[in-house]
């Protein structure tokens, strides 16, 4: 038998419908509809090598329409990746199978990004394409010369984040980014025209993209469109007109195929329509080996690349960065030593900028940025040139007012590897970034979020700009390290921890207002413990005051007032809950003993502080929205001063 394009594509269709049927759950429509486009991409264009799935110069493929996960599982299996095995595919959507409901980057090599929240994959891919261009500018085309491909659905293009991705990608002229749009005119509720009548291609055109359309079931036409995309210097959107669920004779073209098993009868009918006369999870040898051959296309390209790397003058540095390893001996100790010698009374956002001065000089892999608040977030250091379409070698990104797009692009850079992204906005707008922060945490990647103006301490901009629930809401996110440093020394320590952590994101909550430098020594990184006794009680200890960030200064003033009355009070600074919770019980009990009154002070919601104060403890914070006014007046207004807090602590002890 000679294996045709249709045979190859039908293998994807069969695996997809059978896996969904076996799981009795999943989305057959998209993989069946995009099987032809995916076949063309994976057999003719995509640069990859299943034998070396992490090869740094591979093309990146992002399945932004993550519900169609069986498409990528089929492709990875068929092209010869070690996983998923056919057994993994049989166990699609079952606990323990790497073939999860939606693709997860840490489950399978070849899944470049965790996708499912629509639009996020596409915006993440923008960051991958940025990282590629940056590393190309740094190391040259011999080492870095690849593309980023996205498969996106109607939903990805409808989501608001799509607008940010189009704006950023077009502005930065990311010509190596190609989005293949599954233009099937169907979403869950039915036809796209129920909810949308926009000219999608026109929107991309106006964003500086190249656009082209094709018949997504005609391989020659798909080739024509992709060739046009490759030839154009702009990022491309390829509209692939398809039939959702193609091959299911009674359901294709309808939303019935989107997210439900086709049914036993319809699967049987599809076998007839497709001419696929084989049992579930069986691929005839000829078709299987044709797919394996397609997967071998990249092997020689990869070994040529390895040969170039082996003699390249930047080999060691390239490998270090690709592995995400910090330079040997990377440390901020010298900078922290200067702080101890010359204490800085600065806002922690300014302390962050000072720290970044040291970091960016030591780590060429950092790429900073801000969503149009550079001067407020203090994210740019003097040595950073802007990253622009004319200078991809720049290390500072003007993301524009695109918080979600920024955070997603940062994730794309971190996933791509070779760079460490950090980016800033106001903490209150972490809400605008939150879905991407969550994906960073889920994907176990090193994105560093710099969130300034972290409380009512920002003052006159008022309640729209004053975070209340934000720090706590971020703390509850699994695998995110949230830091709220109290002074310049802690800020540097927290930065060091964020950079050293390769398996998850960190977020720094930083003040607008100046804070005194409280730390007198830095023999060890005390922030690494999450919380530590900054000052021990002088008189017999009756109280432990635990505070974060700008409120540590207040806790010290409260302790001073109590000690005057002979009430011993420890002051505990707690820059990070997650780090503290990871300490041994003995340490935690020593820092927060249970036999004294425990009091928390933080200019945000008190909900959650019971964890450390116990129900019997006291919690000072703000459980309403903030207000407009000068910072010091606001602290008084909301009862967060030593004069107001100390008597309440005394009363609780009586």
Q: Using CB under 5 A as the criterion, which residues of the chain lie in contact with Mg ion when the complex forms?
A: 153-154, 184, 186
Task: Extract the tokens encoding 43.
Answer: 């057999």
d(CA 168, CA 587): 47
Task: Extract the tokens encoding 476.
Answer: 């509850």
Q: What is the DSSP letter of 307?
A: H
Binding-residue total with ligand TPP (CB under 6 A): 19
Residue 12 makes contact with ligand TPP by CB under 6 A: no
Residue 161 makes contact with ligand TPP by CB under 6 A: no
Cβ proximity to ligand TPP, 477 vs 640, nearer residue: 477
Cβ proximity to Mg ion, 78 vs 243, nearer residue: 243
Applying the rule CB under 6 A, the residues between 245 and 264 that interact with ligand TPP are 258
Quickly count helices (H) and strands (E) in the chain: 26, 20
Residue 368 makes contact with ligand TPP by CB under 6 A: no
Closest by Cα among 609, 523, 601 to 556: 601
Contact 545, 486 (CB under 8 A): no
Applying the rule CB under 6 A, the residues between 227 and 246 that interact with ligand TPP are 244
Among 29, 121, 253, 549, binds ligand TPP (CB under 6 A): 29
Which among 21, 159, 266, 403 is annotated as catalytic?
A: 403
**Residue whose entry in the numeric block shows the structure tokens 């720049």:** 394
Residue 184 makes contact with ligand TPP by CB under 6 A: yes
- Shortest Å, Cβ 584 to ligand TPP: 40
- Shortest Å, Cβ 29 to Mg ion: 8
| Helix 160-171, helix 403-416: angle, nearest 10 | 70
Stretch that binds ligand TPP, among 81-89, 114-122, 357-365, 624-632 (CB under 6 A): 114-122
Residue 117 makes contact with ligand TPP by CB under 6 A: yes
Contact 187, 213 (CB under 8 A): no
Task: Strands of 329-445 (E only): list them.
Answer: 346-347, 366-370, 396-398, 420-426
Residue 621 makes contact with ligand TPP by CB under 6 A: no
Rg value, the chain, Cα: 27
Angle at alpha carbon of residue 367, lines to 362 and 524, rounded to 5°: 45
Cβ neighbors of 522 (< 8 A, separation 6 or more) are 333, 336, 337, 339, 340, 489, 493
Judged by DSSP in three states, 544 sits in strand
Angle at alpha carbon of residue 378, lines to 377 and 381, rounded to 5°: 145
- Residue 299: its H or E element: helix 285-310
Closest by Cα among 366, 445, 454, 449 to 403: 449
On the 0-12 / 13-18 / 19+ scale of CB atoms within 10 A, 388 is middle
| 30, interface contact from Mg ion, ligand TPP, none, CB < 5-8 Å by kind | ligand TPP
| 117, interface contact from ligand TPP, Mg ion, none, CB < 5-8 Å by kind | ligand TPP
First to last CA, the chain: 91
| 32, interface contact from ligand TPP, Mg ion, none, CB < 5-8 Å by kind | none
Cβ proximity to Mg ion, 184 vs 600, nearer residue: 184
Residue 150 makes contact with ligand TPP by CB under 6 A: no
| 116, interface contact from Mg ion, ligand TPP, none, CB < 5-8 Å by kind | ligand TPP
Binding mask 563-582 for ligand TPP (x = CB under 6 A): --------------------
Residue 295 makes contact with ligand TPP by CB under 6 A: no
Cβ neighbors of 338 (< 8 A, separation 6 or more) are none
Sign of CA dihedral 538, 544, 547, 551: negative
Judged by DSSP in three states, 136 sits in helix
| 548, interface contact from ligand TPP, Mg ion, none, CB < 5-8 Å by kind | none
Binding mask 392-431 for ligand TPP (x = CB under 6 A): ----------------------------------------
Residue 78 makes contact with ligand TPP by CB under 6 A: no
- Shortest Å, Cβ 196 to ligand TPP: 10
Closest by Cα among 542, 535, 633, 531 to 587: 531
Cβ proximity to Mg ion, 200 vs 486, nearer residue: 200
Binding mask 518-547 for ligand TPP (x = CB under 6 A): ------------------------------
Residue 103 makes contact with ligand TPP by CB under 6 A: no
Phi, psi of 135 (to 5 degrees): -70, -30
Contact 42, 110 (CB under 8 A): no
Cβ proximity to ligand TPP, 188 vs 361, nearer residue: 188
| 188, interface contact from Mg ion, ligand TPP, none, CB < 5-8 Å by kind | ligand TPP
Residue 169 makes contact with ligand TPP by CB under 6 A: no
- Annotation says 460 is catalytic: no
- Shortest Å, Cβ 258 to ligand TPP: 4
Among 22, 118, 347, 561, binds ligand TPP (CB under 6 A): 118
Cβ proximity to ligand TPP, 50 vs 153, nearer residue: 153
- Shortest Å, Cβ 185 to ligand TPP: 8
Residue 452 makes contact with ligand TPP by CB under 6 A: no
Cβ proximity to ligand TPP, 133 vs 163, nearer residue: 163
Judged by DSSP in three states, 99 sits in coil
| 290, interface contact from Mg ion, ligand TPP, none, CB < 5-8 Å by kind | none
On the 0-12 / 13-18 / 19+ scale of CB atoms within 10 A, 135 is buried
Contact 71, 92 (CB under 8 A): no
Among 9, 22, 23, 30, binds ligand TPP (CB under 6 A): 30
Residue 186 makes contact with ligand TPP by CB under 6 A: yes
Sign of CA dihedral 570, 573, 578, 582: negative
- Shortest Å, Cβ 471 to ligand TPP: 25
Task: Strands of 574-617 (E only): list them.
Answer: 597-601
- Buried/exposed 226-249: b ≥16 CB within 10 Å, e otherwise: bebbeeeebbbbbbbbbbbbbbbe
Among 17, 35, 37, 65, binds ligand TPP (CB under 6 A): 65
Stretch that binds ligand TPP, among 72-80, 184-192, 502-510, 605-613 (CB under 6 A): 184-192
Half-sphere exposure of 448 (CA within 13 A, CB side): 23
Stretch that binds ligand TPP, among 112-120, 327-335, 420-428, 507-515 (CB under 6 A): 112-120
Task: Extract the tokens encoding 140.
Answer: 């040259």
Q: Contact positions toward ligand TPP, by CB under 6 A?
A: 29-30, 65, 67, 116-118, 153-156, 159, 182, 184, 186-188, 244, 258
Q: Please list the active-site residues.
A: 403
């Amino acid at each position: 038998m000679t294996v045709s394009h249709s045979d190859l594509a039908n293998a994807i269709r069969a695996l997809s419908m059978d896996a969904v049927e076996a799981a009795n759950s999943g989305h057959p429509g998209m993989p069946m509809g995009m099987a032809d486009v995916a076949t063309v991409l994976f057999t003719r264009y995509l640069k990859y090598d299943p034998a070396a799935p992490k090869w740094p110069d591979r093309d990146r493929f992002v399945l932004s329409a993550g519900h169609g996960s069986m498409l990528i599982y089929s492709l990875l299996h068929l092209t010869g990746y070690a996983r998923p095995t056919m057994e993994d595919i049989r166990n699609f959507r079952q606990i323990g199978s790497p073939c999860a409901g939606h693709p997860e980057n840490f489950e399978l090599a070849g899944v470049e990004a965790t996708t499912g929240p629509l639009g996020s994959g596409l915006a993440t891919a923008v960051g991958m394409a940025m990282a590629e261009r940056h590393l190309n500018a740094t190391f040259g085309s011999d080492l870095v010369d690849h593309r980023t491909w996205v498969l996106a659905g109607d939903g990805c293009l409808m989501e608001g984040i799509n607008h940010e991705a189009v704006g950023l990608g077009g502005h930065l002229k990311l010509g190596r980014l190609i989005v293949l749009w599954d233009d099937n005119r169907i979403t869950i509720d039915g036809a796209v025209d129920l909810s949308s009548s926009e000219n999608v291609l026109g929107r991309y055109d106006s964003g500086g993209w190249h656009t082209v359309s094709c018949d997504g079931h005609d391989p020659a036409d798909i080739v024509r469109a992709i060739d046009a995309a490759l030839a154009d210097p702009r990022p491309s959107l390829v509209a692939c007109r398809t039939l959702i669920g193609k091959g299911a004779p009674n359901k294709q073209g309808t939303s019935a195929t989107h997210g439900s098993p086709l049914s036993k009868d319809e699967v049987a009918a599809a076998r007839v329509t497709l001419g696929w006369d084989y049992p579930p999870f069986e691929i005839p040898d000829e078709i299987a080996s044709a797919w394996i051959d397609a997967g071998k296309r990249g092997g020689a390209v990869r070994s040529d690349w390895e040969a170039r790397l082996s003699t390249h003058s930047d080999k060691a540095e390239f490998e270090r960065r690709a592995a995400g390893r910090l330079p040997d001996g990377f440390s901020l100790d010298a900078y922290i030593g200067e702080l101890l010698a010359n204490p800085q009374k600065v806002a922690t956002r300014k302390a962050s900028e000072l720290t970044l001065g040291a970091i960016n000089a030591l780590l060429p892999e950092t790429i900073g940025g801000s969503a149009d608040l550079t001067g407020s977030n203090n994210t740019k250091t003097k040595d950073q040139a802007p990253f622009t379409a004319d200078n991809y070698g720049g290390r500072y990104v003007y993301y524009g007012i695109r918080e979600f797009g920024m955070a997603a692009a940062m994730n794309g850079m971190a996933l791509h590897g070779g760079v460490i992204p950090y980016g800033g906005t106001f903490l209150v707008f972490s809400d605008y970034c939150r879905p991407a922060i969550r994906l960073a945490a889920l994907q176990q990647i090193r994105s560093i979020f710099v969130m300034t103006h972290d409380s009512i301490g920002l003052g006159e901009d008022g309640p729209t700009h004053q975070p209340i629930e934000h720090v706590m809401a971020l703390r509850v996110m699994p695998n995110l390290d949230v830091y709220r440093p109290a002074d310049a020394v802690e800020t540097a320590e927290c930065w060091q921890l964020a950079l050293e952590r390769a398996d998850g994101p960190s977020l720094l909550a930083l003040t607008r207002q100046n804070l005194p430098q409280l730390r007198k020594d830095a023999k060890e990184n005390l922030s690494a413990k999450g919380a530590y006794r900054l000052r021990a009680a002088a008189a017999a200890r009756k109280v432990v005051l635990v505070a974060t960030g700008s409120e540590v200064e207040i806790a010290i003033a409260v302790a001073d007032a109590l000690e005057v009355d002979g009430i011993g009070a420890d002051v505990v600074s707690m820059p990070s809950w997650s780090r503290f919770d990871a300490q041994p019980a003995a340490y935690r009990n020593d820092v927060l003993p249970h036999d004294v009154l425990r009091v928390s002070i933080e200019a945000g919601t008190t909900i959650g502080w019971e964890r450390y104060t116990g129900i019997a403890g006291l919690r000072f914070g703000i459980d309403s929205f903030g207000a407009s006014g000068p910072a010091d007046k606001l602290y008084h207004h909301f009862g967060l001063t030593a004069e107001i807090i100390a008597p309440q602590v005394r009363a609780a002890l009586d």
